[in-house]
Amino acid sequence: MNNIGYQTHYYFQIYGGMIFLKANTKEIMKMKSYNWAIVGPGRIAEDFCSEFPSEQTLYGVASSHDPNKAKQFAKKFNIKHTYQDYEDLLNDPQVDIVYVATTNNFHFDNIKHALTAGKHVFSEKPVTLNTSQLQELITISKEKHLILMEAQTIYHMPLYDKLTEFIRDQQLGQLKSIQVSFGMHIDKTQTKDRLLNPNLAGGALLDMGIYAISFARRFMTAAPKLVATQMVPTSTGVDDVSTYLLTNDNNELCTMNFNMLADMPTIGYVIYENGYFIIENYLRPENAVFINADTGGKQLIIAGKTDIAMGYEALDMAKAVETGDNDTLDWTVQTMNVMTQARKDWDFKYPNE
């Protein structure tokens, strides 16, 4: 686990003709520690626990089909409590927050049961398969005064808050265009691969595209709307290659492409009237380069650490539980709206929707 409760201060430094906006960090007062329980002890849950902040408590874990798997997971991460099944976990009054790390097709049921049991929920993306499922869960969470938050790194990396300040302070003018894509090579002969399996809600959109759409929403000043999309399916029926054009009420445009063909660099371009950002590794970025439109001058903006990205998520979730302010939920809803509309335009549904 990582100790990542920090307050960040920034300063300018000139080196080799480039202006660097760098960050100093210092530890701040720890917030309340909540008891977290893991549902779905797989690979993504391992990553989450490896980056989990020391200010919070990994309290329990359960597997839906193999209690021994939960015990092995608990031993690896020094988690004191294991359960026979999810129901047993949800009946534990000491559990404050449930982290849902199951495959996409199970998210809705897992989250609904946790909320109904009175637990706050932090779920891996996509939080649900479609907008109607998400709205049902939001209704339950509001009725029970609980936090439902999506584990989307783009909403929680410190760099994005720093870029928001930079955009405001430097008066960059109107956002004009965003270009962002995601590609990953998937062996199509392995038809049982989760990403190729429609029964597990596979495909490029929900697993890869959600990052790019969330990236666009992070900068757009109004909710994105899907203008056009095209998709080519795999032999299993899920989306293999797809393209998108988004806009919003402020005439901001975004073009994107997702595919399961090639491992592509994750680079986003955000273009304003007075310059543009290049953001590499936009899923978990530590830095961005701003290029001035008039002078061509470059500024390197640095904040946060890639290797504790999921720790930032956990701290923001704890803060939301403590304050009741769930600042990222609207972004989650608007991103889900785009993905739901895209699949509607393709006339594609998952078997268990």
259-269 pLDDT, tens per residue? 999 999 999 99
Query: Which single residue is written with the structure tokens 């808050």?
Result: 161
Q: Which helix (H) or strand (E) holds 342?
A: helix 329-346
Q: pLDDT tier at 191 (50, 70, 90 boundaries)?
A: confident
Cβ count within 10 A of residue 214: 25
Which of these, 319, 338, 302, lies nearest to 120 by C-alpha position? 319
User: In this prediction, what percent of the chain has a pLDDT beyond 90?
Assistant: 89
Alpha-carbon distance of 29 to 286, in angstroms, equals: 23
Contact between 105 and 198 (Cβ < 8 Å) = no
Q: According to the model, what pLDDT value does residue 30 have?
A: 65
What would the mean pLDDT of 49-58 be, rounded to a whole number? 97
What would the mean pLDDT of 294-307 be, rounded to a whole number? 97
What would the mean pLDDT of 50-72 be, rounded to a whole number? 95
Q: pLDDT tier at 12 (50, 70, 90 boundaries)?
A: very low
pTM: 0.91
The answer to whether residue 190 scores a pLDDT higher than 80 is yes
Helix, strand or coil, per DSSP, at residue 163: helix
What would the mean pLDDT of 13-24 be, rounded to a whole number? 44
Task: Cite the beta strand spans of 46-174 per DSSP E.
Answer: 57-62, 81-82, 97-100, 120-124, 148-151
Query: Which single residue is written with the structure tokens 């998108």?
Result: 244
What would the mean pLDDT of 158-184 be, rounded to a whole number? 97
Alpha-carbon distance of 61 to 67, in angstroms, equals: 9
Contact between 226 and 338 (Cβ < 8 Å) = yes
Alpha-carbon distance of 271 to 283, in angstroms, equals: 18
Averaged pLDDT score across all residues of the chain: 92
- List, in order of start, the domains of the chain with CATH numbers: 35-151 (3.40.50.720), 154-305+328-346 (3.30.360.10)
The answer to whether residue 23 scores a pLDDT higher than 80 is no
Alpha-carbon distance of 279 to 287, in angstroms, equals: 7
